[in-house]
Amino acid sequence: MEFSGALTIDTVSPIQRLSQDVISLIAAGEVIDSLAAVVRELAENALDAKATRISIHLWPELWRVRVTDNGSGMGRVDLEQAATAHSTSKIRTCDDLSQIQSLGFRGEALHSLAQLSDLEIRSRVATDVGWRVTYGAEGTVTAIEEVAIAPGTVVMADNLFDRLPNRRQVLPSVAQQLRQVQQTVQQLALCHPQVTWQVGHTDRDWFTLWPGSTAKTVMPQILRDVAVHDLEQVSLDAADLGCPQGQLDLLVGLPDRCHRRRPDWIRVAINGRAVTAPVLEQSLIYNFRRTLPRDRYPVCFLHLRVPAAQVDWNRNPAKSEIYLQDTEGWCDRIAIAVEKALRLSNLAASSQRTKQLFKTAEVSASYAGQQELPSQLKAVAQVQDTYIVAEHSGGVCLVEQHIAHERVIYEQIKAHWQTVPVEPAIILSQLSARQVEQLRRLGLDVDLFGENLWVVRNVPAALAKRDDSADALLELSLGGDVDAAMVATACRTAIRNGTPLTMETMQTLLDDWQRTKNPRTCPHGRPICLTLEESSLSRYFRRHWVVGKSHGLRRST
């Protein structure tokens, strides 16, 4: 077929270049998509300015946000440029993108706010007068005047999303937006605990987070049912971590006091910013698996300080998703930190369990938990062939014998996991192909011995001399990894409740248990020890009272 003449198309192409106004609004909406995003961007700017006090006030019904800080402030020249597109003091060249040291760096936050709201900034550097500037939709100055103001910056964004009415319509309810703001501030406070945060909305103060040297000061202000003594913090530097550069700070709730039904309080931050890091979060869950009750999750805050070149922040507009180099190495370091935190957290059982045990009407302050796990325990009795009663210099303890022994055996097996030959070999029947594969995965030699018969020629060392080795192997064949097999072996091997023990056996068990790395809980996460201080006993039995001659009561002096 041949064409004669030119081909003409009368229709207009459906692909058209957007106008600059539309492009700008779309870009702004990617950066600022909620009230919480406004707070995040402005608070991060304040932190970059070295602020130690940040005040946030919201008027949700008016779509207004004000953020005030005592940071380094801006002079007139900077204010005139601050809200224009891609304006920032934090990067200059392409190489700077691989060496991000600040929270903000794209130069889009103030420009986006100018496009999405009526933007006003008042600011002053310590050596100059203050200035008040208002901006138009493109971030250009519409008015400027000298004002009296303390050093720092006040940013007011009013009529937010007025130019994007659809955005307003799809945002959550006011209550949900306030909750998002609260979570944003809480995450920033954990990352920057040296800062005082004051937040209000409408015509009232809302909440304040007071500063401290570490996140350990901040978390109890966020989680009201968590006290400072319920937490343990570990800091590891490059030498501890076995890497050229870096620091790891881990704040954890003690496993027998702080745990959650959902993994909603496993928080991760990198270089001062909260991030979504599923691999690191799963590593934390995995490393707590033998200290928490089943189907419970830890309370923890992990903050990594890594070389800037190892992080790529340009994955999404909120900078909450990142690319992190050497993730596997950091998972290994997390395991070290969790082990150290649990080793340091040898605290007594909570006062709440003590109150429940004795069912006393005393106020909770009467039964404060001890600060360290009691040492040099002396066995004095056995209750119901289940609990060992032990005394120490500060009071008494009840130790559940089975789970204490389970913790001892589990750590011994974990340190020296091995299989040993057994003679005669153990014969198992009616195994499925999956069960056979599971036993082989655990390092056992399993061979076909006959019709529906299998021979096992080696077993975990802890089971070698037990009469129920065949039952134990059947249990192990039903699933789980090597660690699960260790736990199952320890559970089966440990002294059973209901077993009478001699005083010597009880003392040996107490001594072995106190030497374990994680004496607080068994490998399944159950608490092992209940401790009652002598002062609590004294208060309960009213030893601060004496009987007078008339058989009445009076206080002793």
pLDDT band, very low/low/confident/very high, at 130 (cuts 50, 70, 90)? very high
pLDDT band, very low/low/confident/very high, at 314 (cuts 50, 70, 90)? low
pLDDT at residue 251 above 80? yes
Residue range 404-437, pLDDT digits in tens: 999 998 888 888 778 888 888 888 887 888 888 8
List the Cα angle 301/207/47 in 5-degree steps: 60
**Residues 222, 188: Cα–Cα separation, whole Å:** 12
**Residues 362, 530: Cα–Cα separation, whole Å:** 18
Longest dimension (CA), the chain: 130
Other residues' Cβ atoms within 10 Å of the Cβ of residue 126: 9
Of 148, 136, 183, 165, which is closest to residue 40 (Cα–Cα)? 183
Please give the pLDDT value at position 358: 38
**Residues 192, 187: Cα–Cα separation, whole Å:** 9
Q: Which two tokens stand for residue 143?
A: 């008015």
| SS3 category, 320 | coil
- Spatial contact of 444 and 416, defined as CB atoms under 8 Å apart: no
Angle between helices 278-287 and 327-344 (to 10 degrees): 30
pLDDT band, very low/low/confident/very high, at 87 (cuts 50, 70, 90)? low
First-to-last alpha carbon distance for the chain, in angstroms, is 118
Of residues 438 and 148, more confidence is placed in: 148
* 80-101 mean pLDDT: 64
| SS3 category, 298 | strand
Of 231, 294, 287, which is closest to residue 261 (Cα–Cα)? 294
**Whole-number mean pLDDT of the chain?**
82
